[in-house]
Amino acid sequence: MIRIGVLAMQGAFEEHIKALQALGVETAEVRLEKDLENIDGIIIPGGESTTIGKMLDSYNLTDRLISMGKEGFPMFGTCAGMIMLSREIEDGLPGQTSLGLLKVVSCRNAYGRQINSFETDLAIRDLGEKPFRAVFIRAPIISEVKNNVTILAKFQDKIVAVKEDNILALAFHPELTDDYRFHEYFIEMVKGWRKENGKNNLN
């Protein structure tokens, strides 16, 4: 049985858990370092990236997550989670924590405030012909990608979904719809990592 952890400090982590459970995946809420044991992948949900960073530091999760990510552990970040994974934050606050695992430059709140939130259909080849209904809430964008980063989706010429090796990152909230194709996509990443390593996890 695959077991995927969801960082449960802020944001729509319950919706991510619901999506995973609907797909038959065992889940775990991650708040402490011990919660990283015996999981096969982790989702970092939306919320407020500066707050998430402070909480990761406070609970001694930052260095452990960086180490796991560098070892190839599957990670999936949505909205603020994408910012947390980014190597560089274009408009980040001084000293803002990020995991720096994804070779992109992200821009926080690129689409404005909460009132500017919106939904749109995205064409995403990796998910098939059916458009994906994307929910953008105070959404970031990716302003620059480095080598080996695959662009999965754009909206109005702005990069909003990418994949690099073991990392999947979206500027929007797939957990707020009943379309679980991105969660299925991540589950397949997890299965591939487990197969490569011949065991459930590296912890």
175 is catalytic: yes
Please write the tens of the pLDDT for every residue from 112-149: 666 568 999 999 999 999 999 999 998 999 999 988 99
Catalytic residue among 15, 16, 164, 173: 173
CA distance 111 to 95: 23
The CA distance from 101 to 67, in Å, is: 10
Q: How many residues appear in the chain?
A: 203
Q: Can you give the pTM of this predicted structure?
A: 0.92
Distance between CA atoms of 186 and 168, rounded to whole angstroms? 7
The verdict on whether 183 is a catalytic residue reads no
Give the CA diameter of the chain: 47
Given the residues 16, 164, 175, 183, the one annotated as active site:
175
Quick check: is 173 catalytic? yes
> Is 3-197 a domain of CATH 3.40.50.880?
yes
DSSP state, residue 52: H
Q: Which of 79, 107, 164, 183 is catalytic?
A: 79
**Residue 121 structure tokens:** 């259909």
**What are the domain boundaries of the chain?**
3-197
* pLDDT tens-digit readout, 163-195: 999 999 999 999 999 999 999 999 999 999 999
